[in-house]
Amino acid sequence: MTQSAAGSGPKKITTKVIASMKEEGKKIACLTAYDFLTARFLDQAGVDLILVGDSLGMVFQGHETTIPVTLEEMMYHAKTVVRGVHRAMIVVDMPFMSYQANPEEGFRNAGRVMKETGAGAVKFEGGERVAELVFKTTQAGIPVMGHLGLTPQSIHQFGGYTPRGTTAGEAKRILNDALTLQQSGVFAIVLEKIPAALAAKVSKRLDIPTIGIGAGNGCDGQILVVADMLGLYEEFQPRFVRRYASLADVVRESVGKYVRDVKDRKFPSKEESY
């Protein structure tokens, strides 16, 4: 782990560090987190960037989509994540209708997120349509991450979670949107559920890092929803998810043992009592 110049602890990851990782050919490891404990574990494990994603609407709140998540809810979760992290960069999703109405409203909301949560950046979904907002926000000193391909906040418009960029027209639009976002000032772009060849092409054309999710191995970094890769969210498993654990089974088994011990009067023992 990189140490600070003073040798007092890990070096905080910033947009400058993220940019240098692409320049040096180092892959960027990213995951989502929505609470203090998970964020602390991810930070201790060496995750470079933690996204406080509006995916919390599905894996934390139980909604079918990310649409119902509010700005206040995102800020609440972002604050808890920030308190658990010392090294990783923290990015906060701007939720549905917190920026779509007009650039001025989105700009104010982004500023509020930065000021009140202590996060390091915000993320907007979309390409050319958010370019003005991205420019205005970055000019005010607020780092912005972009998001292209499958954009969950537009799920009702597209009618499902099918891959994007599978036609020549879509692929061209994604590349053009990526270039537009780069010009507008984003420090990185998430590419979600697009063909691997397209993601690799976009990544090579851009000077800024790309973070893939279901976009092949040609991106500059990767991100997954933490509940997916830990095997906690069982409703469905996308093709692009690799499960590194089956914690849902561990939780059920552990809680089951506790329940049996309580009912059999085995817990607490004398050693666990005062």
Q: Looking at the annotation, which residues are catalytic?
A: 192
Peptide bond into 103 cis (omega under 30): no
CA distances from 237 to 76, 114, 154, 241, 274 (A): 27, 32, 21, 7, 46
CA distance 56 to 34: 7
B/e letters for 236-246, b = 16+ CB within 10 Å, e = fewer, are eeeebbeeeee
Only one residue has tokens 């666990």, namely 272
List all residues 6 or more positions away from 92 whose beta carbon is below 8 Å from its beta carbon. Answer: 51, 52, 74, 75, 78, 113, 117, 119, 121, 122, 123
Residue 212: burial class (beta carbons within 10 Å; 0-12, 13-18, 19+): buried
